[in-house]
A and B are shown apart, each in its own frame.
Chain A
């Protein structure tokens, strides 16, 4: 029913939601359960091994927020409100198809929202220990992941063997590896993609075979010298844009306004240290591990979310990304009322300014475009500063 993509992966991923819709509908018809997920801590491998289709339900729409605010406080993160608005309006087909929603005790806003959501939806909540350095924390989390496995077995009437888990690990390793290779293209002096375009090269549902083929195709294309429209490689007549590392909250489907205005102001976002970017794909799982559940739990537990204390892994990750992607500045995005990222931004700023020696800008906003013009002023001023400094350094050499 879709128009042909002419072998263009950009067109394929431009239709990502429709692709996922078709895939989930077909899977459902074959009797596969659809399992909604709301966070990158959810181990997709467990769901895949149980025959489920893991689909991300995080809301990126401004339109569902007013409905959510009739129940939830206005002063709450837009991602939580938007997700909850879809739940109330029953307007997210993937949520309506979901046989189960898996979630974790991450931030307070989410976990309290889940209490209300679970009144009318079947949910499995995992307890996420938040002191990542404690020796017993990983063991505790591993037990939670094991409970998810047995829970899915009981609910869906299946038996999940270690081999099933290893197959799921290999599938997800492949997907993460392909997405990493695409993201690594941004390390080039003239990246063949914009950050905004790269953000589109992913899917709400993991492990769709057609997506994996398209990732391969895209990598081949760009490694052969192709350039996405508007990318620095495409616009060779223009000076290279300012390289920006974005960090902070995820920019889920529909909530891409900030990265768009940053790149429209004359920058290219070369690295995205967030859950819709590099954060969940930096690490793989050993498919040969004796205890695959533990190996899976460990990978996911390493995710450096600001709900963790002390979240030293995020600083280490930023240090590594700075070395690999060579940004000229760091912009942190914090969704309004996201307490953990907002408070942690103090440490991130200090690290970026003092250790990396780069200018830092924090943008705190929500899904409403009302402040776009004002945010543009800040971003433009930051880019003017970076360019002026680069020019002065050039002159001194």
Chain B
């Protein structure tokens, strides 16, 4: 029996297939989002199953998650990204107590205890504190996201970015550039401002071990800025973009297992 997870995020679609018998990862795939999410999900799903030498009907159950979860016609059921993210990370780091997830259009902090999700906090009303904001800044600085991370590591005096709003932060960056601030200092300032947003979202409740997930976890140095603002070190999850889809696949596996003996 194989369980599938599809995570329809704002920036990327992810698919993970897991073996329900032994919890082994069978295949994973991701693709940048397009307007027709349902089609992208179907294509990526077929591509990922084919990669594993399987056909779609080999997959016993599919759980959809992410912002586009209601559009996933292939999914048998949907579960929120909070539950899926927690499940996915717990399978990799069983003792995890906090998860910081910075995705394309939201950021969240999930607090766990031995029984799973205990509480969570989300920023989803504005772009500040999200991957989108980082992409915008990288475009302004004319670098790629990984390059921006590298650039920031050379900063000696990170620029101070006060704006709580991504739109105003962009004009603040324009003024900083005009005033001759170094791009490395601006890059560092942007990372720090995101890290501070996450710190205020987490409040005083962040317990170790803390795990960092989402596409932004792949940016070199982002975890250091977060650690500085949070006063705690974070472990970057293995394949941090895929953890929610992994959790969805694991939940699909669990649902298959519990449905079997019951009826």
A residues sitting closer than 8 Å to B (CB atoms) are 353, 359-360, 371, 373-374, 377-378, 380-381, 384-385, 388-389, 392
Q: Indicate if the CB atoms of B119 and A381 lie closer than 8 Å.
A: no
Whether B26 sits at the interface, judged by CB under 8 Å, is no
Given the contacts A359-B119, A388-B116, A381 and B80 also touching, CB distance less than 8 Å: yes
Among the stretches B120-128, B169-177, B227-235, the one at the interface with A is B120-128
Whether B115 sits at the interface, judged by CB under 8 Å, is yes
Q: How many A-B residue pairs have CB under 8 A?
A: 44
When chains A and B are docked, how far (Å) is the Cα of A371 from the Cα of B126?
Answer: 11
Most chain B C-beta atoms within 10 Å of own C-beta, residue among A359, A373, A374, A384: A384
Interface flags, B183-207, vs A, CB<8A=1, else 0: 0000000000000000000000000
CB distance from B131 to the nearest CB of A (A): 16
Tell me which residues across on chain A come within 8 A of B82, comparing CB atoms: 377-378, 381, 384
Which listed residue, A353, A381, A392, touches B115 by the CB 8 Å rule? A392
Most chain B C-beta atoms within 10 Å of own C-beta, residue among A359, A360, A377, A389: A377
Whether B51 sits at the interface, judged by CB under 8 Å, is no
Tell me which residues across on chain A come within 8 A of B79, comparing CB atoms: 384
Q: Which residue of A lies closest to B120 (CB)?
A: A381
In B90-149, the 8 Å CB interface with A consists of: 106, 115-120, 122, 124-125
Q: Indicate if the CB atoms of A385 and B125 lie closer than 8 Å.
A: no
Interface flags, B70-87, vs A, CB<8A=1, else 0: 000000000111110000
Tell me which residues across on chain B come within 8 A of A380, comparing CB atoms: 80
CB distance from B157 to the nearest CB of A (A): 33
Q: Indicate if the CB atoms of A389 and B115 lie closer than 8 Å.
A: yes
Interface of A is mostly: helix
Given contacts A373-B67, A385-B83, A385-B116, 9 further A-B contacts (CB under 8 A): A371-B124, A377-B82, A381-B80, A381-B117, A384-B79, A384-B82, A385-B117, A388-B83, A388-B116
When chains A and B are docked, how far (Å) is the Cα of A353 from the Cα of B119?
Answer: 10
Q: Can you spell out 22 A-B residue pairs with CB atoms less than 8 angstroms apart? A: A353-B119, A359-B118, A360-B119, A371-B124, A371-B125, A373-B67, A374-B122, A377-B80, A377-B81, A377-B82, A377-B124, A378-B82, A378-B120, A381-B80, A381-B82, A381-B120, A384-B79, A384-B80, A384-B83, A384-B117, A385-B117, A388-B83
CB distance from A284 to the nearest CB of B (A): 38
Tell me which residues across on chain A come within 8 A of B115, comparing CB atoms: 388-389, 392
CB distance from A338 to the nearest CB of B (A): 16
CB distance from A104 to the nearest CB of B (A): 32
When chains A and B are docked, how far (Å) is the Cα of A78 from the Cα of B181?
Answer: 41
In the complex, how many residues of chain B place their beta carbon closer than 8 angstroms to a beta carbon of chain A?
16
CB distance from B223 to the nearest CB of A (A): 24
Tell me which residues across on chain A come within 8 A of B125, comparing CB atoms: 371, 374
Q: Indicate if the CB atoms of B122 and A378 lie closer than 8 Å.
A: yes
When chains A and B are docked, how far (Å) is the Cα of A381 from the Cα of B108?
Answer: 12
CB distance from B129 to the nearest CB of A (A): 14
Among all A-B residue pairs, the 10 with the closest Cβ atoms: A381-B82, A381-B80, A384-B83, A385-B117, A374-B124, A380-B80, A377-B80, A388-B116, A392-B115, A381-B83
Tell me which residues across on chain A come within 8 A of B122, comparing CB atoms: 374, 377-378
Tell me which residues across on chain A come within 8 A of B81, comparing CB atoms: 377, 381
When chains A and B are docked, how far (Å) is the Cα of A373 from the Cα of B106?
Answer: 13
Interface flags, B13-51, vs A, CB<8A=1, else 0: 000000000000000000000000000000000000000
When chains A and B are docked, how far (Å) is the Cα of A385 from the Cα of B124?
Answer: 20
Tell me which residues across on chain B come within 8 A of A378, comparing CB atoms: 82, 120, 122
Q: Which residue of A lies closest to B117 (CB)?
A: A385
Q: Which residue of B lies closest to A371 (CB)?
A: B125
CB distance from A265 to the nearest CB of B (A): 10
Q: Which residue of A lies closest to B122 (CB)?
A: A378
Tell me which residues across on chain B come within 8 A of A381, comparing CB atoms: 80-83, 117, 120
Tell me which residues across on chain A come within 8 A of B118, comparing CB atoms: 359, 385
Tell me which residues across on chain B come within 8 A of A374, comparing CB atoms: 106, 122, 124-125
When chains A and B are docked, how far (Å) is the Cα of A388 from the Cα of B116?
Answer: 8
Tell me which residues across on chain A come within 8 A of B117, comparing CB atoms: 381, 384-385, 388
Q: Which residue of B lies closest to A389 (CB)?
A: B115
Q: Which residue of B lies closest to A380 (CB)?
A: B80
CB distance from B14 to the nearest CB of A (A): 17
Most chain A C-beta atoms within 10 Å of own C-beta, residue among B80, B118, B120, B122: B80
When chains A and B are docked, how far (Å) is the Cα of A389 from the Cα of B82?
Answer: 15
CB distance from B126 to the nearest CB of A (A): 11
CB distance from B175 to the nearest CB of A (A): 24
Tell me which residues across on chain A come within 8 A of B120, comparing CB atoms: 378, 381
CB distance from A368 to the nearest CB of B (A): 11
In B214-231, the 8 Å CB interface with A consists of: none
When chains A and B are docked, how far (Å) is the Cα of A392 from the Cα of B80?
Answer: 19
Q: Indicate if the CB atoms of B116 and A389 lie closer than 8 Å.
A: yes
CB distance from A120 to the nearest CB of B (A): 35
Most chain B C-beta atoms within 10 Å of own C-beta, residue among A381, A384, A388, A389: A381
